[in-house]
A and B are shown apart, each in its own frame.
Chain A
């Protein structure tokens, strides 16, 4: 199909009749319509068309035969969408959908009809009547659930409710999709020239090529005394927390390069994590877990949490999950300061941990190559997956909760679909990846020794070479993408490096969720709201939308209810107790035989009944078929004499 702009170009100036330019959605349909016209159309429509033609001629006459080609304005959506739409059409679609589409087409046609469209006083008709169509992909993005099967006819009220709610959700979906077109920012990108690999472009080149503010986001902190460093970005991406192995803890407003606090805890530091705001952070120290505020004042020393190696903060549940060297996975509710759950995993030292941001399940990697999934509600793992031969070195999960990426001692990096728990791809990295991190838009960074590699689309297409690479000084100890920024933070033996990774961050943030530009007042309000809708830890499940489904009673439950209501079991059978016979006729064998006889008889009854039922059903079906055939067959006047 030619795109509409081409169609416009192809119009020659000496054309006889002014032809209406084609909109992208008309391309094939118009033709199809024409075909159908030749086949046989309702008379009326034809007549109408003729009338329209005549009218057009009349309109044209005053120009004195001079043809003016009006070039139609092209709208932004006309360029590419037409093609994608076409692709969709070629795929096999269900019948109903097609029919519906036809109906919509008809509707549009009616709207479109040149002289049937809305008329302005000047005599012109609106070139783009009706609302602009919404790109299908965008609509799909905001789709929540499929259509519900409508209930039977007699549940008219329920049916009405369902129809209304469906309409409302459809409207919401459309509005959200429309709104999506208005988002102000676009994602970043990096494209090399011909025969230039993007992975060969150095950070300095990128920093030089971009504007000053962005260029300033690439920097090195040389902290060779207390390294190697772990790091964590706050949820809004404004603040950076650094924790050196040898006790150095610092939090920085990294965009303005302002140091908020810096302290040395005089103990080894295993991990650092921001809590829900940039005012508090947790530090896993040699022995206990400590909480500091952003001025560096120690708020709590939590002695229930010892030997913590890794931590994860679940922002919507206000839970701090910690994995310790003693094999305990503990959950701390930071809003009330209570330990929610302490699970003994019985798998030894836990130093590989990540969370699934989609369902708040904690993933732990183990030295025997398994990855286990945990929720605070269960003492056993939800899932155990054998992912690697040899130990697991790092695990990460993407934000939609679809893919898990693991790297192991076997120098492999594997991609799993964790909805189906199936491996998708496996990559071999020569030195193996020690740290993995996924960005909001799905870029994967992997640290192999002192080189940080960034990959794109690891799950959809087999990747052969990295998107970007960067060598840092000293081996990498911590990796993390900054949310809402094209920045990757690397903590290593010699300090901290902030890398520019174009296309990593989500360009448009939601102001009510995580707003990098929020004021103190806004933050306070957000905190209250967030605390009010804190999700209880009991709601952590593998499928977070489970709460929205109808909990249908199964047969057993219904039966139990029925038994309770009736007071007896209507389906229950009395157990056959053979009568005791005298004169030695009630031997054990005899009793057994009688029992078997009765059981046999019962079974025969059941079989007889099912056979009868089946026969009846078949008869009924035959009768219906005959009836239908009789109805569908044309009756002639003579049929009434038939018996």
Chain B
């Protein structure tokens, strides 16, 4: 007779001393782990719920301005520095880690319309309603010294937008026309006009650095090449565009914030149709800024919310609002892809997490692993209705909620009417116009 009976030595399975960690022998045999899918699903559901529980995006509010914040500027070299300009002509430099203002200067009379930090990070430019362009040093003046700009250029008309070239000592302004300035000269080296209009914003392309785009009050977006004397092309839309922002990774895409509550992502090469129409705001969109990864962008709206959109999705993945935040005028995505900054009408700058449920600070490896695991699970089960519902749900202020529903009803009514017209007219006489095609009037070259 040969016999063997299971007989385990407890020493192999129990820790030796109290100071050791517990032994956990594993056996991955699937038959010992039944209900794999249902258990994973439950885990995914829990992870999704916890994500919503931990979604606390608001970090800090920076107060100190005495009028609405009109423009923000990121520092290209320092993550913790932020510049803001307000409607009373004041510019403040902030230290974001300490949540405090480090410098205040009265830059202009009237609004500060635009602000940009030079690529080297040692100085910055401001424009204001007083028709001046001022060049300031980033360092605060020494004790007893007076706060004075390095250089002041007096223009002929009011400037409304400003951007600096990525590498060269060249910047662009817009107002009645788009001007390209050399830093050393007091007159523009090039001016672009296309019809009589006023421009609201101008932005340099971050990759093709000689290209720039601007949006004008005649509902058009115009593209320029700095090396040429005439503009490249423009697209005219049904409503006015407020600002544009280039995708920093795929720099042939840009997104524009429109007055018709939508954002449009265009491919620079094919302006006939937008690549994507981003709906969700319930009022005019005032500002837009891309994340440095180029996968998402944040938009600020007159409806007192800011929203985060994935670049190829029509709907926003996130909406931020507080009871106190009024019309959001300007928004920026921080260069480390972690924070969003918004400046609003009621004189505050707000600091938000870009990923609402993210845990800040140093993570232990096990924490990291757990986060990765739950992330993967959420991804795996994202289309299950219950998980989808929880992950998508966002609380909205009552006004916005009702406005959203109202817009939905209006849209549906319009659609229904069009459908009825089509149904009762000669086939082919009322063509189907897609949402993308609807908003473009024409493209001019």
Contact = CB atoms under 8 A, between A and B. Distances in A.
Contact of B35 (A179, A214, A360, A486): A360
B6 A505 contact: yes
A513 interface: yes
Contacts of B184: none
A316 B42 CA distance: 11
Contacts of B52: none
Interface in B29-72: 29-39, 41-43, 46
Given A180-B28, A500-B5, A566-B419, A510 B41 contact: no
A519 B115 CA distance: 63
A486 B6 CA distance: 6
A512 interface: yes
A191 interface: yes
A590 interface: no
Nearest to B36: A545
A51 interface: no
A377 to B, nearest CB: 13
B7 A545 contact: no
Contacts of B2: 189-191
Interface residues of A, number: 69
A206 B4 CA distance: 9
Contacts of A532: 42-43, 46
Contact of A213 (B7, B26, B27): B7
Contacts of A428: none
Contacts of B25: 184, 508-511, 515
A357 B7 contact: no
Contacts of B402: none
A485 B43 CA distance: 31
A508 B5 contact: no
Contacts of B26: 179, 510-512
B1 A190 contact: yes
A179 B28 contact: yes
A188 B4 contact: yes
B14 interface: yes
Given A210-B5, A508-B25, A515-B24, A539 B38 contact: yes
Contacts of A186: 4
A567 B6 contact: no
A359 B5 CA distance: 30
A616 B4 CA distance: 73
A397 to B, nearest CB: 12
B361 interface: no
Contact of B41 (A191, A359, A513, A539): A539
Nearest to B384: A547
Contact of B4 (A502, A513, A547, A567): A502
A548 interface: yes
B442 interface: no
A185 B37 contact: no
A505 B6 CA distance: 8
A185 B6 contact: yes
B23 A533 contact: no
B377 to A, nearest CB: 11
A63 interface: no
B419 to A, nearest CB: 5
Contacts of A209: 1, 3
B7 A191 contact: no
Nearest to A177: B28
Interface in A483-538: 484-486, 500, 502, 505-513, 515-517, 519, 521-522, 532-536
Contacts of B151: none
Contacts of A201: 1, 3
B215 to A, nearest CB: 32
Contacts of B416: 567
A614 to B, nearest CB: 28
B7 A533 contact: no
A534 B30 CA distance: 18
Interface string A546-580: 11100000000000000000111000000000000
Contacts of A176: 28
Contacts of A357: 34
Contacts of B22: 519, 521-522
A544 B3 contact: no
A642 B429 CA distance: 49
B13 interface: yes
Interface in A181-215: 183-193, 196, 201, 205-206, 209-211, 213-214
In this complex, the member of B1, B33, B43 whose beta carbon has the largest number of chain A beta carbons within 10 angstroms is B1
A25 interface: no
Nearest to B46: A532
B3 A190 contact: yes
A400 interface: yes
B423 interface: yes
Contacts of B46: 532-533
A399 interface: yes
A513 B32 contact: yes
A534 B42 contact: yes
B336 interface: no
Given A141-B29, A188-B6, A517 B42 contact: no
A210 B1 CA distance: 11
A129 to B, nearest CB: 28
Contacts of B33: 510, 513
A508 B32 CA distance: 10
Interface string A141-153: 1101000000000
B12 interface: yes
Contacts of B23: 511, 517
Given A193-B1, A508-B25, A535-B38, A142 B7 contact: no
Contacts of A502: 3-6
A358 interface: yes
A376 to B, nearest CB: 14
B10 interface: yes
Contact of A144 (B6, B30, B38): B30
Contacts of A513: 32-33
B39 A535 contact: yes
Given A316-B34, A517-B13, A533-B42, A191 B29 contact: no
A517 to B, nearest CB: 4
A221 B25 CA distance: 33
A316 B39 contact: yes
Contacts of A521: 22
Interface string A56-99: 00000000000000000000000000000000000000000000
Contacts of A506: 27, 32
Contacts of A533: 39, 42-43, 46
A544 B1 contact: no
A249 B38 CA distance: 35
B395 interface: no
Contact of A399 (B28, B31, B37): B31
Contacts of B12: 184
Contact of A547 (B10, B32, B37): B37
Contacts of B32: 506, 509-510, 513
B8 interface: yes
Given A205-B1, A535-B38, A547-B37, A214 B7 contact: yes
Nearest to A568: B423
Contact of B34 (A214, A516, A544): A544
Contacts of A358: 34
8 closest cross-chain pairs (CB), A and B: A511-B24, A517-B13, A548-B37, A191-B2, A508-B27, A214-B5, A176-B28, A214-B7
Interface of A: 141-142, 144, 176, 179-180, 183-193, 196, 201, 205-206, 209-211, 213-214, 217, 316, 357-360, 399-401, 484-486, 500, 502, 505-513, 515-517, 519, 521-522, 532-536, 539, 544-548, 566-568
10 contacts: A141-B30, A206-B3, A206-B5, A506-B27, A510-B27, A512-B26, A515-B13, A539-B41, A544-B34, A544-B38
Given A176-B28, A188-B6, A544-B36, 6 more contacts: A180-B29, A183-B27, A214-B6, A359-B35, A506-B32, A510-B27
